[in-house]
Each structure stands twice: as C-alpha cells, then as structure tokens.
Structure 1
Amino acid sequence: MAAAIDAARRRAVGPSYVVGDVTDLASAGLATFDFFLDVGCFQGFDADRRQAVGRGVTTLANPGATLLMLAFGPTRLRAWMGGVSLDEVAAAFPGWTMTSVDPAQTDGLGWPMNRSSPRWYRLRSSR
C-alpha cells in the first residue's frame, strides 16, 4: 500500500491519500465530498458493516452528493464473492434517494462473476 501511495504522490499534484477503514470513516479525518465511488467494496460486508459504511458516507456527504456503486447481486456464492440486493443498498443509505439502477457489463468476467447480475447504483444525498 505504501509503495502505491508514494507512486501516486509522485505523479499527481494536489490530492491527499488516506488509508482508513471504510466502516469507520469518521476516524479518518476527512473533509466532506460531492462524489463517492464504490467498486465492489460495500458488497463484501455483512449487514452491520454495510450500515456503518452508509453512516460514514452520509456524514462526509455534502448536500446533494452523489454515490455511484458497482455491486454484484446476491448469489449462492455470496460468502465467497459478496453481493447485495437493491433493498440492502437502500437500507444502508436511508438519507439518500436511489436515482438509477443499471446493469453493469459482464464482458471479460469469468464464471461465476458473469452470473452475479452486477449493477450500478446511483444515489443522491437527500440532505
């Protein structure tokens, strides 16, 4: 992780790189944001940790912020590869409005991931 952060710092001017716990974002000392991107992180947590992620993102969200999340749907292999339903995403972000749910491309994904019904969830902070 340290080598990746050092390489990114050498290439970019301005951004800050923080290593933290997504289930405890309040402890990371971050500012607020207009946009959040989750590509496969949220789907791997149990219900309690998903709630913690939702609380943390909500705390750091500016009014009207957008969350774009890519997540696999729940499958029989959920313990191995994660996955969440629309209802589980919505339950973790009660202060947010689901603005769209779109299928994600599965080209290039092997079995079983290409059978997991991945979705792009777009939410907007209601506060």
Structure 2
Amino acid sequence: MRLASEGAFAGAVLDAGCGTGENALHVASLGLPVLGVDVADTALSMARAKADDRGIEAEFATADAFHLERLGRTFDTVLDCGLFHTFNADERPAYAASLASVTNPNATLYVLCFSDTDPDTVPHPISQEDLKAAFTPSNGWNITTIEPDRVQTRFHDDNGAPAWLATIKRI
C-alpha cells in the first residue's frame, strides 16, 4: 500500500506469488494492468472472486516462478511480497533469472522478504547478502536499496515481522 501511495508502480505490473491477490487488486484499483501469478490454484480462485466482487479488473494465472518466460509477456514493475524468502540459496539465482526473463530494461522489482535482523521471529530469514547474491549485474539486476521494513503476516501481531524491502532495477 505504501509503495502504491508513493507512485512506485508503473506500466504493466507482475505480482509474483500473489496468493489471494490483495496486493494485485490494490495496484489494479489504481488503473494499472496487473497479472498476479501463483502456484496455488485455490488462492488464485479466491483472488478472482475478490476481483469480481469488487469490480476490479485484474488478471490471475497459475505460473511456476522458475519459468516465468512461459507467460509470454513482459512487465515494467514487479512485486514480490513474501515469495523470495521461500526459496533456498540454490534456487534464488534461478528465480532472479526467471524474473529477468519477463522484465523490460529499466523495470523495477520490489522484494519484501523476512529479514535476519531477528531470525527467531520468522521462518526463512534472509540477509542483505542473500539478496545481493541472487540479484547481480551478471543476471541482469542492480540493487538500488535494501531497507529495513515490516511485513504483515497471520502469525505476528499488528507490528508484523522484521523484513527487508529491496528496490532492484533491471539492467
């Protein structure tokens, strides 16, 4: 919501790992074309129902995050809110390459993931070094910023969980 209020989204938007679609629907409500992708068909059905109920035009599709090129399209902005931290260290570069395959030059990727600042409070904590190792110039990315943030979950109080918000540009 904060990124959207700051005008961070532009052009065609991909919500990678969209789940039940809340972020995709918010961005779509701003008038941007959005595709939310996930592997969970049940979550995608819920996202489509929410879009219909709210009268918001958004597209949702089943997709493998490691083979996004199969979508056959490109995007100017990508949001990953809670997907990156589910991958192990060996999978992260492949995910970054998959994202690069569907982003236009100078596209912006926003990654909000659990951070290692308090590893006892989150599963799959990610360090800044983990982000830097996955998103490198050699696989098409330049990290602009990595800032401490919070992410809302079902398992944490209203303050959320410690997170990193990375802003990453496609070369």
- Partner-residue secondary structure (3-state), 1:5: helix
Letter in 2 for 1:45: F
CA distance in 2, matches of 1:105, 1:76: 13
2:95 counterpart of 1:53: yes
Match of 2:104, SS? strand
- Picking from 41, 52, 56, the partner of 2:83 is 41
Would you tell me which structure has more strand in proportion to its own residues?
2
Partner secondary structure for residue 66 of structure 2: helix
Measure, in 1, the Cα distance between the counterparts of 2:74 and 2:151: 33
Q: Spell out the pairing of 1:64-75 with structure 2 (5 A cutoff).
A: 64-74=106-116
Give me the whole-angstrom Cα distance separating, in 2, the residues matched to 1:23 and 1:39.
16
- Structure 1 pair 118–31 and aligned structure 2 pair: CA distance change class (3 A): same
- Any idea what the Cα deviations from partners look like across 1:53-92, whole Å, max 9, x if unmatched? 10110111100010111112236559x7112112211222
Task: For residue 67 of structure 2, give the secondary structure of its aligned residue in structure 1.
Answer: helix
Gaps of 5+ in 1: none
Whose relative contact order is higher, 1 or 2, with alpha carbons under 8 Å and at least 6 apart?
1
Give the match for residue 21 of structure 1: 64
Under a length normalisation based on structure 2, what TM-score does the superposition of the two structures give? 0.59
Distance in 1 separating the partners of 2:150 and 2:120: 19
Equivalent residue pairs, number: 119
Deviation at 1:123, TM superposition (A): 0.7
Return 5+ residue gaps in structure 2 as ranges: 1-41
Encode CA deviations 1:25-66: one digit per residue, 9 max, x unaligned: 123x24100111111110111112212210110111100010
Q: TM-score, normalised by structure 1?
A: 0.77
| C-alpha separation in 1, matches of 2:110 and 2:63 | 20
SS at match of 1:53: helix
Preserved CA contact (<8 Å) 1:36 1:67: yes
Structure 1 or 2: more helix by fraction: 1
- Percentage of matched positions with identical amino acids: 26
Distance 1:77 1:19 in 2: 32
Instruction: Pick closer, same or farther for the CA change 1:100–1:76 going to 2, 3 Å.
Output: closer
